[in-house]
Structure 1
Amino acid sequence: MSAYAELTAHLRETEALSYVAERLGWDQETIMPRAATEQRAEEIAALESVLHARRTDPRIEDWVTRSEATTEVEARVLDLAGRSYNRASRIPARLATELARLTSLSQGIWAEARAAEDPAHFLPTLAQVVALKREEAACLSEGDLYDALMEDYEPGATHRQIGAMFDRMRPRIVALREKVLGVASQPKAMDQVFPEAAQLRMARICATAFGYDWTAGRLDLAVHPFSSGSGRDVRITTRVVESEPFNCLYSTIHEVGHACYEQGIDPAYAFTPLGRGVSMGVHESQSRIYENQLGRSAAFTGWLYQRMVEGFGDFGVADAESFHACVNRVSPGYIRTEADELHYNLHIMMRFDLERALITGKLEVADLEEAWNTRFEADFGVKVDRPSHGFLQDVHWSVGLFGYFPTYSLGNVYAGCLHKTMRSEVDGIDAALAEGTAKPATDWLREKLQVHGGLRPPRETIAHACGFEPSEAPLLEYLEEKFSAIYGL
């Protein structure tokens, strides 16, 4: 066998094992018995030990050095394999295994604390997670600790770039929010019970409308919605609050965006470094454009309104236009995943500052709740009323995903660029959405972006699809045009 063939055979088995580990995580967050928490932590830690040994196998460096790429695909595989090896080799096996064990336990402890509104139950474990993530960052860092962790989710991005982008975005978003909230007549929130079973039926209808392949996936409930898997096994989750159907429906559409990216990758890339989404920013571009530019459009909400009437009867919204305004209602709510498009990025900006302070040591875990509540009141104008509406709402920190949050806003920015280009190149998007199918839009996204998987670096992936370098300008223009129309500005 050639060096390249030996390398790809090794990578194939490693990727297969990583899928097994991911499936254990899916099981833990959906259907695993509560009593199995500690046992599952040991299982995940044991598997991580095997994976770490494979990822740091010194033969990888030799194979990469001796391989000669003859195609763009081979060159990219060698580049990603080398990067992964160099990164994994900096992390001691003990640390990798302990992180896997602790974050598996921590996820369950977080869920219990969130349900009981009991921060004290979670904070000691979170402090351990932060300590290990600081240690990991120190192993990986060539300068900034936070940048070292962010590399896992958005390769090439830095906190300075992200911070500068946020500084450019914040004034226009806040100005638009103030104009919107200053309008005398505001859309009313829905005030009715929407039974769980009916919400889940509607969620499946929405997932189908956006092209989710049910033969290669399934829908389950989780405390915090997520998508899991790649290729021919990509599972989605949602959650149900019977007074808030948009929580379920738009969480589902969001996760379908993630899932369709993974389902759409060229099958030839399976079990290679190219066989997954290239970054979380690019991943979020898919989930956010499905959820917002498409899912919250007037065309789709008009169709959804009729389905809601059929499924729930009279639910207090007079017509499709009022329903569209209701879906896009701007309100400074507590929960990020339920936030309107104006407030959403403000949620991310806050988390970005807080988690960076945690990793760099400027903020200790013991002071996190107070820091969160103070910042939230300053940014959103309301006081946090309970921990599950505050720092306990998101699962990310409990499972060690520090550096992940900025990718949500990057995803919004990338989605703005993709939406601008897609609208200029594809006819009939709104007509199709009004009939309950996103196919013209999702076909374009699959062809321009999803099929390529990890073939190109993140920003290059977006630039290749759009024909221009990504920036926040298209997103801000979209928001100003959309909400000016809805609120009559």
Structure 2
Amino acid sequence: MTAYDDLMAFQRDTEALGQVAGRLGWDQETMMPRDAAPQRGAEMAAMEGVLHARRTDPRVADWLAEAETSGEVEAAQVRDIKRSYERASKVPAALASEIARVTSQAQGKWAEAREADDFAAFAPVLKEVVSLKREEGAALSAGGDVYDAMLDDYEQGATAAELSAMFDALRPRLVALRESILAAEAPAALQGKFDESAQMKLSRQIAKTFGYDMSKGRVDKAVHPFSSGSGLDVRITTRTSETDPFNCIYSTIHEVGHACYEQNIDPDYLLTPLGQGVSMGVHESQSRIYENQIGRGRAFTGWLFGQMRDAFGDFGIADEDAFYATVNRVENGYIRTEADEVQYNLHVLLRFDLERALVSGDIEVDDLEAAWNERFEADFGFAVDKASNGVLQDVHWSVGLFGYFPTYSLGNVYAGCLNEAMRKGVPDVDAALARGDTSHATRWLRENVQTHGGLYAPREVIAKACEFEPSEAPLLSYLEEKFSGIYGL
């Protein structure tokens, strides 16, 4: 065997163990008994210790030095293994294990504090998480920008400065559009109660409609919907509300976008560095285009209206056009995951700015709730009423995902670009969507984005698919055209 063969054999075992660790996380959020949290923390810490030891094994450096590659796939495999090795080697093993232990326990404490609307109960463990992540960021940055080092975990090559410039271009036009919409007459809101078991049945049907392979996945319920796994085992979760079936339906479609990305990666990349989505920004582009440009589009909502009538009977919406307007209704709200397309990015930008300040020490955990509430009222024009609708609504900071939030808005930007390119490449896409046939749209995404996995850099895979460099312009044009039509602006 060559050095490259030895390297890849070792890496496949590391990737497999990483999937096992991910399954522990999935279980923690879906089925684990509440009182098992301390033991699960120890288990996660032990697994992280094993993974860190493998990622920093001196043999990896030797194999990398000796490996000879042939073609772009082998070169990309070595590139990603080298990046992972160099990055992991900067973080002490004890610190990596401690982060895994503390964040595992913090997740449970966050859920309890969220249920009790008590940020003060969560603050002590969040202080531990922030301290540990600052330490890790300092190690990774080696004197550079700590937040950029954290961001690189989720969007390789991106910097806070360039994202800030992009977001600064988004904000004024989003705010102007939001103000125009809220001054106009709103479509009817959904009323009544919707059986939650029927919601789950419909959601599973819709998941299959979007191409989610249930023989390699499953749909469960969780407090915060998420997707987990890759390759042959990709699981999603959703949530239900008796008065809001759209929450369940569109959370499901969103997570199916993530899951289909993982399921559709070239099977030759299974359990290798290329066998997962290349970045969270590209991942989010898939979930957002499935959810919004496809799932909330006029063509698909026409089909969905019929499915809703079959599942729930007459629910008070007269026809397909009225249903389309109701699905895309813009209204004030606290929750990021429930926000409409116009306001969603404003929720993300709030978090982006706050977590940068938290990482830098410009604000501390004890000041976080007040800072959140002040910024929210300034951006949205009304006050936060309780912690679960404010600083405690997202799981991300409890599990140490600093640098993750901006990838949501970056994903929206990428989705805007992909939607423009897809509609040029598949001119009959709406005719198919009106029949409930998503295959034309999802095939284009599979062939142009998903199959590549980690082969290309994040911006590169979007630029290749679109045949132009990504920017915020297509997203803004799409939003202004869509909502001007709905609201008669």
TM bucket (normalised to shorter chain) is over 0.9
CA RMSD for the aligned pairs? 0.8
- Work out whether residues 147 and 356 of structure 2, in 8 Å CA contact, stay in contact via their aligned partners in 1: yes
SS of structure 2 residue aligned to 1:398? helix
**What code does the residue aligned with 2:139 have?**
C
Distance 2:321 2:206 in 1: 19
Q: Which residue of 2 aligns with 1:149?
A: 150
Does residue 300 in structure 1 map to residue 275 in structure 2?
Answer: no
Hey, what's the Cα distance between the residues in 2 that align with 1:117 and 1:162? 32
**Number of equivalent positions:** 488
Q: Which amino acid aligns with 1:170?
A: R
Cα distance in structure 2, aligned partners of 1:487 and 1:48: 51
CA distance in 1, matches of 2:121, 2:188: 37
Deviations 1:282-341 (A, max 9, x none): 000000000000000011111111111111112121111111111101112100000000
- Residue 220 of structure 1 aligns with an amino acid whose one-letter code is D
The residue aligned with 2:408 is 408
- 1:103 Cα shift? 0.6
Deviations 1:360-416 (A, max 9, x none): 100100010000000000000111011110010001001000000000001000001
Match of 2:176 in 1: 175
d(CA) in 2 for partners of 1:128 and 1:242?
37
The corresponding residue for 2:449 is 449
- Structure 1: 5+ residue runs without aligned partners? none
The reply to whether residue 310 of structure 1 matches residue 310 of structure 2 is yes
CA distance in 2, matches of 1:106, 1:195: 33
Whole-angstrom distance in 2 between the partners of 1:161 and 1:93:
32
- Alpha-carbon distance in structure 1 between the residues aligned to 2:377 and 2:296: 27
Within 5 Å, give how 1:326-345 maps onto structure 2.
326-345=326-345
Retained in 1: the 8 A contact 2:253–2:290?
yes
Distance 2:218 2:469 in 1: 36
Deviation at 1:160, TM superposition (A): 0.2
Q: Secondary structure at the match of 1:235?
A: strand
Deviation at 1:427, TM superposition (A): 3.1
| Corresponding residue for residue 71 of structure 1 | 71
Task: Give 2:113's aligned amino acid.
Answer: A
**1:140 equivalent in alignment to 2:136:** no
In structure 2, what is the Cα distance between the partners aligned to 1:117 and 1:281? 31
Paired residue secondary structure (2:220)? strand
Structure 1 runs (4+) greater than 3 angstroms displaced: none
The CA distance in 1 between the partners of 2:5 and 2:205, in whole Å, is 43
2:167 alignment counterpart? 166
In the alignment, the residues of structure 1 paired with residue 397 and residue 245 of structure 2 have an alpha-carbon distance, to the nearest angstrom, of: 26
TM-score by length of 2: 0.99
- CA drift of 1:8 comes to 0.3
Secondary structure of the residue aligned to 2:325 is helix
Q: Structure 2: state its 5+ residue gaps.
A: none
Aligned to 1:391: 391
| Aligned pairs for 1:93-132 within 5 A | 93-132=93-132
- In the TM superposition, what is the alpha-carbon distance from 1:188 to its structure 2 partner? 2.6
Q: Where do 1:315-464 residues align within 5 Å?
A: 315-464=315-464
Match of residue 80 from structure 1: 80
Paired residue type of 1:420? E
State which drifts further: 123-132 or 112-121. Answer: 112-121
Aligned match of 1:272: 272
- Corresponding residue of 1:288: 288
Letter in 1 for 2:150: L
Q: Distance in 1 between matches of 2:215 and 2:246?
A: 25
* 2:221 aligned residue: 221
What per-residue deviation string (whole Å, max 9, x for no partner) do you get for residues 183-225 of structure 1?
Answer: 1x21132121112101101111211111100110000000100
Structure 2: distance between partners of 1:412 and 1:437: 23
Instruction: Name the amino acid aligned to 2:332.
Output: P
- Which residue does 2:204 correspond to in 1? 204
Mapped pair 1:194 → 2:179: no
Amino acid at match of 2:319: D
Which whole-Å CA distance do the structure 2 matches of 1:171 and 1:44 have between them?
43
Is the contact made by 2:231 and 2:271 (CA closer than 8 Å) also made in structure 1? Answer: no
In 2, Cα distance between equivalents of 1:197 and 1:104 = 30
Question: How high is the TM-score relative to the length of structure 1?
Answer: 0.99
How far apart are residue 178 of structure 1 and its match? 1.2
Q: State the alpha-carbon separation in 2 of the partners of residues 35 and 434 from structure 1.
A: 47
Give the deviation of 1:244 after TM superposition.
1.1
Residue 96 of structure 1 aligns to which amino acid in structure 2?
Answer: A
Measure the CA separation in 2 of the matches of 1:441 and 1:63: 41
Please report how far the alpha carbon of residue 70 of structure 1 lies from its aligned counterpart in structure 2 after TM superposition.
Answer: 1.2
* In 2: Cα distance, 1:373 partner to 1:241 partner: 25
> Matched residues in 1 for 2:264 and 2:337: separation?
25
Helix, strand or coil for the counterpart of 1:205? helix
Letter in 2 for 1:84: S
Q: For 1:221 and 1:121, locate their aligned partners in 2 and report how far apart those are by CA, in whole Å.
A: 25
Q: Secondary structure at the match of 1:274?
A: helix
